[in-house]
Structure formats: structure tokens, C-alpha cells
Amino acid sequence: MAQWTPQFLAYAGDLIALVASQLAAAYAGVKAIEAAVHFDKGFYYTYAGASSTGNLLGLWELLSVILFLTWSLGISIVGYVEGALLWERYEAMETVGQTVTIVEGYKYLALGCVIGVGAWISGLALGDSADKLLGFFDEYADDTHSEATDKDGNVDPDGTAIVYDLGFHFVTLLFSYLTISAIAIGAYAFGYTYLGQGDAAADAAAAASG
């Protein structure tokens, strides 16, 4: 266990936070593209012609994909930022001659694990749900011409079905997106809140400023 020095633990936490964040971003991004891009369905000529709302099915899908990819971009950027903040904290302590204690080493390791695991769980959940949440649009492409018929044989006006179906689906998509994002946001907020806490860190900050 001699290699498990406080410095090793601290930098290991930083590495875990950084790598897990990037893995989460990459996984969610790749899964979003796989769910949205197909070469055998979802083309304009298939879904267009029934209603103005149906003609924009590709736009609704594009907006949803951008939402997923923006999440991946945000997770990647914030992961680098918090990793850099942790690294700067360690260097500031070393600059003023402060050494990381074993307790602080484990504390920083735990902090990195919270950030990294929170991001990874969120990315895993978002990526695995992309097939259903984004795949809906391509699967619906050949149904835009279909409308409900009541018991008297009356057919709904063009575009009625897609308005309801899109509305219900977007509620599911957005609430899923927000719920899953809350996991990563909570992890990053926790990391940012407790970043730099501890006697050694406080002493180093005071010494650097004074």
C-alpha cells in the first residue's frame, strides 16, 4: 500500500472525474447519432404530404438530437473544467508548501468519484434511452398519413394524430432528459461546492493570497 500516497489518491480522483465525464459524453453522443441517423427510413418523401406538422417531422427530430448532443458537449466541457479546478487546487497547495494529508487524499478521491460516477450514470442512462426517445421519429415517418376513425366512420382532420403523438412524446422526452440530467448536475454541483474544502486547502489559499 506504499504507493497509495495522499498525492496519488488526490490525482487519481482528478483522473476519474475527467475520464468518466468524457466517457459519458462520448457514449451519449454516439448513442444519439445511432438512434437518429438511418439510411433505410425517416426520409422526407416518406412522411411529407399529409399535414404541415407532419412535414416538419425531420425538424422535430433534429431539435431533439441537438438537445442530446448539447448535453454531451456540456458534460465534456464541465468535466474538463472541474478536472482543471481540482488540478489547480493541488498545484496551489504544492506551491505554498502544503502537503495533502491521507484524509484529504481520500476526500479528493471520493470527490472525483462522485463527479465521474455521477456523469457516467447520467450518460449511460441518456445513451440507452436514445434508441426509444429519438428512434420514435424515424419509426413514425410512415404513419404521418394515418388518422383515427370514430365509431361513425368519421376520420380526424389531417395532422390530428401527429399533434397528439408529438405532444405526448415530447413531454416524455423532456422529462426524461431533465431527470437524467439532474444526476450529472447534482454530481458536478456537489464537486464544485466542496472543491477546495479542508484545512490544508484553506491554509494554502490564505498563504497564496497573503
CA distance 204 to 93: 5
pLDDT tens profile 139-198: 999 999 999 999 999 999 999 999 999 999 999 999 999 999 999 999 998 888 877 544
Which of 3, 9, 13, 136 minimizes the C-alpha distance to 68?
A: 136
For the segment(s) 6-203, the CATH number from 3.30.420, 2.40.50, 1.20.120, 3.30.1490 is 1.20.120
Those residues with Cβ within 8 angstroms of residue 140's Cβ, 6 or more apart along the chain or in another chain: 47, 57, 162, 165
pLDDT value for 4 = 63
CA distance 170 to 57: 12
**Percent of the chain with pLDDT strictly greater than 70:** 91
What are 203's three cell numbers? 491554509
pLDDT value for 201 = 46
What pTM was estimated for this model as a whole?
0.85
**Percent of the chain with pLDDT strictly greater than 90:** 67
